[in-house]
Amino acid sequence: NAGVTQTPKFRVLKTGQSMTLLCAQDMNHEYMYWYRQDPGMGLRLIHYSVGEGTTAKGEVPDGYNVSRLKKQNFLLGLESAAPSQTSVYFCASSYSTGTMNTGELFFGEGSRLTVL
Amino acid sequence: GQQVMQIPQYQHVQEGEDFTTYCNSSTTLSNIQWYKQRPGGHPVFLIQLVKSGEVKKQKRLTFQFGEAKKNSSLHITATQTTDVGTYFCAGRRGYSTLTFGKGTMLLVSP
């Protein structure tokens, strides 16, 4: 099993450009998440999804959009990139957070985005 | 909103010394998880604590969940260079999403 796969792994954008990060998981997880990681800031939740066709805002959603058209895929879009969006982006997935399982997160390897 | 504070931000130890990182929540948690991220890597799940006062061990790592379910700690006995990385706690209220602490970066000198 590949687990959680993110593409691309690296990308450089100019201010105002748009792009989409793709996350794919092969574990049949219901929940998927997009985090950003900045030095000294830990992991901050951007958006998440509790199932196919659903999305919800996290802690820092501004400037990002997401879609979950298929259960295994979760897309993160930047419509007009800004330098403040320079970061490492992690996708994660988990089983439901019910009491019958741990709800642990499985992370992808990350996508490093630089906006000039 | 829910906040999870983690201290220290950074610790540098000599190999063989012990290490502890502490996690404190502003609210009572239903459970807390710990993750390790190696330099240049991605976070990897270590453990979840659910019960008040719970203590779990994984070889040299000891995890504790406070009686009030608002704080937790991770203790590493006799650190090794392979322990290098950033350790994150992440707390959950009910069935909400996890809130991560900012992490403690551990450096181990041989």
pLDDT digits (tens, 9 = 90+) for B21-52: 999 999 999 999 999 999 999 999 999 999 99
State the nearest Cα–Cα gap between A97 and chain B, in angstroms: 6
* Closest alpha carbon to B102 in B1, B8, B2: B8
Contacts of residue B17, Cβ cutoff 8 Å, sequence gap at least 6? B78, B79
Mutation for B interface: A43, A46, A54, A59, most B CBs within 10 A: A43
Contacts of residue B40, Cβ cutoff 8 Å, sequence gap at least 6? none
> In this predicted structure, what is the pLDDT of residue A100?
45
Residue A5 has pLDDT above 70, yes or no: yes
Identity of residue A115: V
* Closest alpha carbon to B21 in B32, B29, B30: B32
Cβ–Cβ < 8 Å for B6, B21: yes
Q: What is the mean pLDDT of residues A9-29?
A: 96
- Spatial distance between the Cα atoms of B35 and A67, rounded to a whole number of angstroms: 27
Q: What is the mean pLDDT of residues A51-76?
A: 95
Which chain A residues touch B102 with a CB distance below 8 Å? 40-42
